[in-house]
Amino acid sequence: MRIAVITGASSGMGREFVKAVDRAYVLDAIWVIARRKERLEALGAECRTPVRALAWDLSAPESLDAYRSLLETEQPEIRILINAAGYGVFTAFEQGDPENQLGIVDLNDRALTAVCALSLPYMKSGGEIVNLGSNSSWQPVPYMAVYAASKAYVLSFSRALGRELKTRGIHVMCVCPGWIKTEFMDRAVHDDTITYYDRWYTAEQVVTRAMKDLKKRKTVSILGFPVRMQVRLVKLLPVQWVMNTWCRQQKKP
């Protein structure tokens, strides 16, 4: 049984990846993972490929145990794994809820790492892993410090894992988009901490570019010339200068 596994599938980037994979791959099933079962089931009705709705919160250890058990029972071949589950909170670190901040690390990093580890024994040569990073992966970002750091981990982990898996013929790509109009922003933005957004993209635009880049075997996918130029600049400029510029944009000290 050849399958795709897509986390964070109930909305935003994850939902768009499900639809893109359904169009691009011939599979026996797509396993979709997110907390909201009704949304996953509704998404399944839109796909030609059979969809298995797994209503799990991957930040909870019991959900990872359930995923491990399901893999052991079904013994599928995972053709493509897409880790799109994640969230962020835009606020000053000392003003944020510590449990909420730790939850970002648990979902964006710990769960992503665990899903990769659990999935790899079921992947063969030609398999693909797509991890969702961010434009914030490339730099420290005050007032969204934990989120940016969590995405820096995703980028670094994806690059290193991809190098290790070359001998197995498994390709790893990290998607690093700029600002995207999704439900992510509804959870991340709850006050006027962040007010400056230079350019918006849609989840569909980001996923369309990511699927093209995956075919080209790219290790990083970045949509938009302005975002790519920003990435190049932050690699060259001093970190303090980059943070100062960001803080001026957000009218912060």
Tens of pLDDT, residues 72-122: 999 999 999 999 999 999 999 999 999 999 999 999 999 999 999 999 999
Give the containing element (helix H, strand E) for 220.
Answer: strand 220-221
- State residue 122's pLDDT score: 98
pLDDT at 182 over 80: no
- State residue 186's pLDDT score: 67
pLDDT band at 183 (very low <50, low <70, confident <90, very high): confident
**Which residues make beta-bridge pairs with 32?**
6, 53
Cα(192)–Cα(174) distance, integer angstroms:
30
- State residue 215's pLDDT score: 98
What does each C-alpha distance from 194 to 120, 181, 211, 250 come to in angstroms?
Answer: 38, 15, 30, 6
Mean per-residue pLDDT, 2-21 = 97
- State residue 193's pLDDT score: 80
Residue predicted with more confidence, 192 or 194: 194
- State residue 190's pLDDT score: 67
pLDDT band at 191 (very low <50, low <70, confident <90, very high): confident
- State residue 188's pLDDT score: 67
Cα(206)–Cα(174) distance, integer angstroms:
12
Which range, of 86-100, 118-132, 146-160, averages the lowest pLDDT? 86-100
The reported pTM is 0.95
pLDDT band at 192 (very low <50, low <70, confident <90, very high): confident
**What is the CB neighbour count within 10 angstroms for residue 156?**
13
